[in-house]
Amino acid sequence: MPSGESGKTDNDMFVNLVNATAEVDLRLSDFHPRSSLQTAVHTIERARFPVIDYHNHLDSTDPREVLSIMDQTNVEHCINITMKVGQKALDMMDKFHNAAPDRFSSIGWMDWNGLDRPDFVKLTIDRLHQMVEHGAVGIKFWKDLGLVLRDANGSLLRIDDERFIPIFEACETLKLPVMFHTADPSAFFEPIDAENERYEELAAHPDWGFSHSPVSKRELLEQRNRVIARHPNVTFVGAHCAESGEDLAYLSGQLDALPNFYIDISARTPELGRQPYTARSFFLKYADRILFGTDLLPEVEMYRLYFRFLETADEYFEYPSHASRQGRWNIYGLFLPDDVLKKVYRDNALKLLPKLR
Ligand SMILES: [Zn+2]
C-alpha cells in the first residue's frame, strides 16, 4: 500500500532497513521456486471406482509388474496401444492377452509400410483383420498422418484422403473403434521463443516443434473431423482431448457436431487442471463422452495424481508426468460427482469394449 505522499511503499522502507541482496540474471534453468502455499492434501490411494486406462503404451513393460500396480490402485483394465507393426504387433498382443486376458486389451498401430504399393489399402484391410483375430479392440492413427507422411508423388497425405475410405469402411464392418492422435498441443505450432508457454520442453526437444509445418493445427483437426463425419457408424476417439484441451469451447463444438466422437484425457491433466472451473463444467456436460487414459508408464504415484485431480478439490499441485514438464504451472482438482466419475473411469470405455461388458 502507498504510505504517505512520498509514494514510497511499506516494502521500500523495509528494504532500506535490511539491505537485502538478490542474485541477478538467474538462468531460467536454475529457477526452481518452492511454493509457500499451504493447502489441504488428499492422497487417493485407490480410485473411488474401478478404472479402465484406455490409453497407455506397455510394449516395454513386464505384464506382471503392471498388474501389481493396477491391483494397488484399483485399475481393473489397461489398454496397450502397441507401437509395433507386423508380426511383432501380433506377438505383443498375444503376450499381454495371454498374461491376463481380462486385464489387458490392445489397440493396433496404423502400419504405413508399403504406402507406395498400389494395393496398400487392401494390404491395410488384411492387416486389420489379422489384428482383430489377435484380439485388437481398436486401431490408432498417429500424428504422422497429416504432418509428415507423403504419397508416391511426394505430396503430403491429407487425413481425409478419399483413397483411405475403404479402410474406415472396414473398421465399420469389424466394429473397430478408431483412435486419432492428430496434430499436437498448440504451443508446438508456435515459434520456440520467449513467448512460448512450453519453451523449456520444446528447447529440450526442438524436433517436437511444428512451427514450420505447411498445414496449420486447425486445418489438421478439420481434416480429421471430416473423416469422423464421413463415417457416422464408426466410433472415433480423439486422443489427448482431441488436441483441443487449450480451448474447451472449441472441443465442445466438435463433440456437439460429431455424436460418434469420444475423447480421452491422457497426458492432458496439465491443460484441464489449470482451468478447473471450465474443465469441471465440461466434464459434467460431456460425462458420456470422456475416457480415462494416462499415456504415462504405469506407476502407483502417477495413477494417484490422476485420481487426486479427478476426485478431490485440492489446489495447486503438480500434475502427473514423468521426465519432461509441459509448462511452469500447477493444477486444481475437479471434485467430480460419483455418477460422472463412474462414467469417465469405466462405463464409457465399456461401450467401446463389448467383450468386457
Ligand atoms: Zn499415446
Q: What separation in Å is there between the alpha carbon of 180 and the centre of ligand 1?
A: 10
Q: What separation in Å is there between the alpha carbon of 238 and the centre of ligand 1?
A: 11
Q: Is 162 helix (H, G, I), strand (E, B) or coil?
A: helix
Q: Is 179 helix (H, G, I), strand (E, B) or coil?
A: strand
Angle made by CA atoms 73, 78, 228, in degrees to the nearest 5: 130
Task: Give CA–CA dist 82/289, Å, rounded.
Answer: 23
How much is the pLDDT for 323?
72
- CA-based nearest residue to 63, from 17, 105, 119: 105
The three cell numbers of residue 131 are: 489384428
Q: What separation in Å is there between the alpha carbon of 16 and the centre of ligand 1?
A: 54
Give the residue ranges of the chain where pLDDT is below 70: 1-19
Domain ranges in the chain are 48-356
How much is the pLDDT for 167?
98
Q: Give per-residue pLDDT as tens, 242-293.
A: 999 999 999 999 999 999 999 999 999 999 999 999 999 999 999 999 999 9
How much is the pLDDT for 2?
46
Q: What separation in Å is there between the alpha carbon of 38 and the centre of ligand 1?
A: 34
Q: What separation in Å is there between the alpha carbon of 151 and the centre of ligand 1?
A: 25
How much is the pLDDT for 299?
97
Beta bridge partners of 108: 139
Q: What separation in Å is there between the alpha carbon of 296 and the centre of ligand 1?
A: 8
Q: What separation in Å is there between the alpha carbon of 181 and the centre of ligand 1?
A: 8
- CA-based nearest residue to 131, from 149, 105, 157: 105
Give the β-pairing of 51-56 and 290-291: unpaired
Q: What separation in Å is there between the alpha carbon of 286 and the centre of ligand 1?
A: 22
Q: What separation in Å is there between the alpha carbon of 257 and the centre of ligand 1?
A: 25
How much is the pLDDT for 9?
64
How much is the pLDDT for 312?
98
Q: What separation in Å is there between the alpha carbon of 184 and the centre of ligand 1?
A: 11
Alpha helices in 100-143 (DSSP H): 120-133
**How many angstroms separate the Cα of 157 from the Cα of each of 45, 165, 208, 267?**
45, 14, 19, 27
Q: What separation in Å is there between the alpha carbon of 81 and the centre of ligand 1?
A: 7
Ion ligand 1: protein residues whose beta carbon lies under 5 Å: 295
Q: What separation in Å is there between the alpha carbon of 83 and the centre of ligand 1?
A: 9
Beta bridge partners of 105: 79
Q: What separation in Å is there between the alpha carbon of 57 and the centre of ligand 1?
A: 6
User: Under CATH, to which class is 48-356 assigned?
Assistant: alpha beta
The three cell numbers of residue 343 are: 462414467
Is 295 within 8 Å of 57 (Cβ atoms)?
yes
Task: Give CA–CA dist 112/137, Å, rounded.
Answer: 19
Distance between start and end Cα atoms, the chain = 63
- CA-based nearest residue to 345, from 59, 71, 55, 49: 49
Q: What separation in Å is there between the alpha carbon of 82 and the centre of ligand 1?
A: 9
